[in-house]
A = this chain, B = another copy of it.
Amino acid sequence: MPGIDFELDKLHEECGVFGIYSHKDDVALNTYWGLYALQHRGQESTGIVTTDGSNMQVKKGMGLVADVYKDGVGDLTGHIAIGHVRYSTTGSSMAYNTQPLRVYFDGGNLALSHNGNLTNAAELRSRLTRDGVVFQTTVDTEVVLSLIARSRKEKVEDRVAEAVNEIKGAFAILIMTDHKLIAVRDPYGFRPLCLGKLDGGWVVASESCAFDLVGAEFIRDVKPGEMLVFEDDYAEPKSMMWSKEMPSKCAHCIFEYVYFARTDSVIDKQCVYQARINMGRELAKETKEIHPDIVISVPDSGTAAAVGYSLESGVPFMEGLTKNRYVGRTFIQPTQKQRLNAVRLKLNPVKSVVAGKSVVMVDDSIVRGTTSGKIVKLLKDAGAKEVHVCISSPPVTDPCYYGIDTSVRKELIASTHTEDEICQYIGADSLHYISLEGLKRSLSSMDPEGMCYACFNAGYPDNAEETIRQGSKYIFENK
């Protein structure tokens, strides 16, 4: 049954990863909980692999964590586990792309979870296939497995180090053999990865919110360019800086703070919720010329910034849009003759709140612009006198090559339209994007210069666009 995808007009993170090493805990159950807490990072598919030291058990499926493992994870035994959640694209035929990937190599069993995107994957695939390597998926991650398998180093961590020195782009990778758990983060630190401690074991996860759920203590972020090797329940994981070339500064993804990460996570020392409150405050400072009656949010992602706006400006925050909490991803397609504002399935204005009011509506970003326009119309139809749209990120003008699905550049409304045009397109009385400077000021606990803002200004820190262009001549997979 074809349906309406409500999430089309958002940027999408591609993945979340979770790993655990513990002889004391139920590693599969903890991974299940960890993935549950990371579900917002990917809803298409999920997988868990465990090892008991000689065999690996795999459970994977399309769908949410609560559905894929609804019959439990009791059959996944062992003392190490890695898991993965993947962003929801269309097409169930992609089931074979579900991670973690798991293979047999000359060191026994090998499993891998990857969050991010490799910019030289096409080139590497091409080189490897010329050497007689076969690939079973279209995920760039699969090259890493072959690179590890082909390394002639003795210890698996050295093989991994050799492998990841060949790949470019964004990656937070968890690797598992029958005896070790290994965590690797790229030298720029594009994607988050952090380390936690259990009573008798260790966990790694994309976000710290996963630690809260499994009862682990947050220890620290994995450093850009660092590898951690877990071999013992109690001893500190072995740390090595594996990268032959380290960039002069980091390039943490700014959109983790704008939209992707959960508000209760702390990533690279910055509390996500605090950053969003600050973005709202900055927006308020930048829009003093508006004198609204109330500030509302597009729930739920715009709420923190709306609250920040209210705190800064003194304009009352109210819930002007009710969200239907039971909306699934799809919905029966309206027939031709039936009129329906599809956004209304998810959001409905509270007339008594907005009628006759001048409203500031805060949202995190505008991608295609289709949804924003529909929401503005809902508010106007409900009697809002004025609707001023405030966006807590600058205009998204350029594609991301580091693990965010920005589709092609031409689908980004801000890459082809001015702010005035967009304002007119969405029917708002005014439209205000936060300035890049304002956004930087929102980061209270981290260096704003160690971030990646490429989706706003094409400033790809590792020259990714050129790498991608070279690789495109090798692409031979399913289009």
A interface list, Cβ under 8 A from B = 1, 25-26, 29-30, 32-33, 36-37, 39-40, 43, 55-59, 64-67, 69-73, 75, 93, 96, 101-106, 108, 110, 125, 129-136, 138, 145-146, 149-151, 209, 212-215, 262-264, 266, 271, 273-274, 277, 300, 303-304, 307, 310-311, 316-319, 322-328, 330-332, 334-335, 337-340, 344-345, 348-353, 476-479
Contacts and interface: CB of A to CB of B under 8 A. Distances in A.
Nearest to A321: B264
B33 A337 contact: no
A125 B105 CA distance: 9
A26 B57 CA distance: 37
A142 to B, nearest CB: 9
A106 B135 contact: no
B328 A64 contact: yes
Contact of A326 (B66, B69, B271, B344): B66
A134 B108 contact: no
A108 B101 CA distance: 21
A62 B152 CA distance: 38
A213 B344 contact: yes
A133 B136 contact: no
B146 A132 contact: yes
Contact of A319 (B56, B135, B263, B349): B263
Given A322-B263, A327-B66, A135 B345 contact: no
Nearest to A55: B478
A66 B3 CA distance: 11
Given A32-B332, A64-B326, A326-B65, A136 B102 contact: yes
Contacts of A40: 324-326
A32 to B, nearest CB: 6
A93 B29 contact: no
B149 A133 contact: yes
Given A40-B325, A319-B304, A476-B108, A271 B26 contact: no
B479 A55 contact: yes
Nearest to A213: B344
B271 A352 contact: yes
A26 B135 CA distance: 28
A335 B478 contact: no
B104 A129 contact: yes
Nearest to A96: B58
Given A33-B345, A273-B352, A476 B212 contact: no
Given A105-B134, A332-B73, A319 B273 contact: yes
Nearest to A329: B66
Nearest to A159: B132
Nearest to A70: B1
Contact of A145 (B30, B106, B131, B134): B134
Contact of A352 (B29, B102, B266): B266
Q: Give 10 closest A-B pairs by Cβ, nearest first.
A: A132-B150, A103-B134, A106-B129, A271-B352, A66-B328, A264-B322, A39-B326, A104-B135, A134-B149, A264-B350
A399 B259 CA distance: 43
B33 A104 contact: no
Given A319-B303, A339-B215, A324 B136 contact: no
Nearest to A105: B134
Given A135-B103, A322-B262, A322-B264, A271 B212 contact: no
A349 B145 CA distance: 38
A212 B348 CA distance: 8
Nearest to A355: B271
B56 A478 contact: yes
B318 A213 contact: no
Given A103-B136, A213-B340, A271-B350, 10 more contacts: A33-B340, A56-B478, A66-B331, A70-B332, A73-B332, A75-B93, A104-B477, A106-B132, A108-B476, A273-B319
